[in-house]
Amino acid sequence: MGIGLIVIGDEILSGKRRDKHLARTIELLDKRGLELAWCRYVGDDGELLTRTLMETMASGDIVFSCGGIGATPDDRTRQCAARAEGVALVRHPEAVAELEAQFGAEAYPHRILMAELPENARLIPNPVNRVPGFSLGDHHFLPGFPQMAWPMLEWVLDTRYPHLHRDTPAVEQALWVLDTSESALLPVMESVIAAHPDTRLYSLPHIAPDGRRHIELGLRGEAAAVGAAMAQLRAGLSAVGVTCHDTLPPDRRHDATG
């Protein structure tokens, strides 16, 4: 199962607000030895959001969705999740109890709309104001507010998926190659990937303002696997006459664009 993130809201796509969920989700997963496989940004368009959720629900991935579960007209996530799952939107009795406990009579007539959830949804407790999120299978719908969404995301990870946590998080090692094209290194990179399928290799080329080029080659995975793959990468580069550096030389450490 991969782990995905959906960030919902026109305000993100218009630039009125900057997304904070991606970086924090990566951090919370990393603390548990997990990694994010993908992220999507989606506006408040109901049809697009429904199509997106249908696709991600069919993927079998664990998915966290942030935003759009409020009661205002632009909050469409609850309705779209129900349509994507092919179920009705119903008033969840436990969600009603949470909202009544938090807001009393002021829960009606508007706040109570946030208790209308897809049929068979399970609640995700909200430690800030008791307005719950909800889960449908392995899709977990959270508020857009970071101070609410992040502890709720942690609750899901620790309550639903403790068996996926790893005591030894992934490690990453990198080296640098100067004034060489990526195409010249392809055979070496392909041989490393073929021999070490449990590691992930990345190649990040950079062009400095003065036109000089360098490439950051890195490997990520379990420590032992990364160590073995890195040894093969170094040997492969040496065999084709390419010198690699453990750190970027000082004269190359300036602003560069890739």
pLDDT tens string 146-164: 999 999 999 999 999 999 9
Provide the pLDDT confidence category of residue 209 given band limits of 50, 70 and 90. Answer: confident
> Domain count of the chain?
2
Identify the CA nearest to 169 among candidates 69, 14, 35: 35
Are 112 and 30 within one domain? Answer: yes
> Within a domain: residue 63?
yes
CA distance 213 to 180: 7
Q: Residue 193 in 3-state DSSP?
A: helix
Mark which of 109, 144, 164 sits at the end of a domain: 164
Contact 17, 152 (CB under 8 A): no
Based on the fold, state whether residues 28 and 112 are members of the same structural domain. Answer: yes
Share of the chain above pLDDT 70, in %: 98
Kindly report each contact of residues 241-246 with a partner whose C-beta sits within 8 Å and lies 24 or more positions away, as own/partner.
Answer: 242/177, 242/180, 242/184, 242/185, 242/188, 243/177, 243/178, 244/175, 244/176, 244/177, 244/217, 245/175, 245/176, 245/177, 245/178, 246/175, 246/176
Question: What mean pLDDT comes out for the span 122-131?
Answer: 97
Please compute the mean of the pLDDT values over residues 104-116 and round it to a whole number.
Answer: 96
Query: Which residue, 140, 164, 188, sits at the end of a domain?
Result: 164
The lowest-confidence range among 125-129, 134-138, 141-145, 180-184 is 180-184
Q: Is the pLDDT of residue 104 over 60?
A: yes
| Domain finish residue from 145, 164, 183 | 164
What residues make up the domain containing 246? 171-252
Residue 13 confidence (pLDDT): 95
Q: Are 29 and 131 in a shared domain? A: yes
Residue pair 118/81 in contact by the 8 Å Cβ criterion: yes
Of 190, 137, 153, the residue nearest 66 (C-alpha): 153
- For residues 135 and 183, membership in a common domain is answered with no
Query: Which are the contacts of 238, defined by CB distance < 8 A and separation ≥ 6?
Result: 244
pLDDT given at position 258: 47
Q: Is 224 left (phi over 0), alpha (psi -120 to 50) or beta?
A: alpha
CA distance 226 to 231: 9
The verdict on 42 and 137 lying in the same domain is yes
Rounded (5°) CA angle 157-159-162: 65
pTM: 0.85
Q: Are residues 99 and 185 in the same domain?
A: no
pLDDT at 256 over 50: no
Among the listed residues 107, 82, 83, the one whose alpha carbon sits nearest the alpha carbon of residue 96 = 107
Mean pLDDT of all residues in 199-222: 91
Q: How far apart are CA 234 and CA 129, in angstroms?
A: 54
Q: Do 210 and 241 belong together in one domain?
A: yes
User: Are 180 and 153 members of one domain?
Assistant: no
* Residue 258 resides in a domain: no
Q: Which DSSP category does 176 fall into?
A: E
Provide the pLDDT for residue 200. Answer: 93
Residue 239: its pLDDT value, please? 95
Do β-strands 3-8 and 62-66 pair in parallel, antiparallel, or remain unpaired?
parallel
Tens digit of each residue's pLDDT (9 = 90 or more) over 66-94: 999 999 999 999 999 999 999 999 999 99
Position 213 in a domain: yes
66, 6 contact by CB (below 8 A): yes
pLDDT at 216 over 90: yes
Amino acid at 206: H
- More confident: 123 or 171: 123
Q: Please tell me whether residues 138 and 79 are part of one structural domain.
A: yes
Mean pLDDT of the chain: 94
Instruction: Calculate mean pLDDT across residues 190-210.
Output: 93
Cα radius of gyration rounded to whole Å, the chain: 23
pLDDT of residue 253: 73
In a domain? residue 12:
yes
Q: Is the pLDDT of residue 254 over 70?
A: no
pLDDT band for position 208 (cuts 50, 70, 90): confident
Q: Answer for the pair 139, 57: CB distance below 8 angstroms, yes or no.
A: yes
For residue 211, the model assigns a pLDDT of 85
| CATH at 247 | 3.30.70.260
User: Do residues 153 and 229 both lie within one domain?
Assistant: no
Q: Is pLDDT at 142 greater than 60 in this prediction?
A: yes
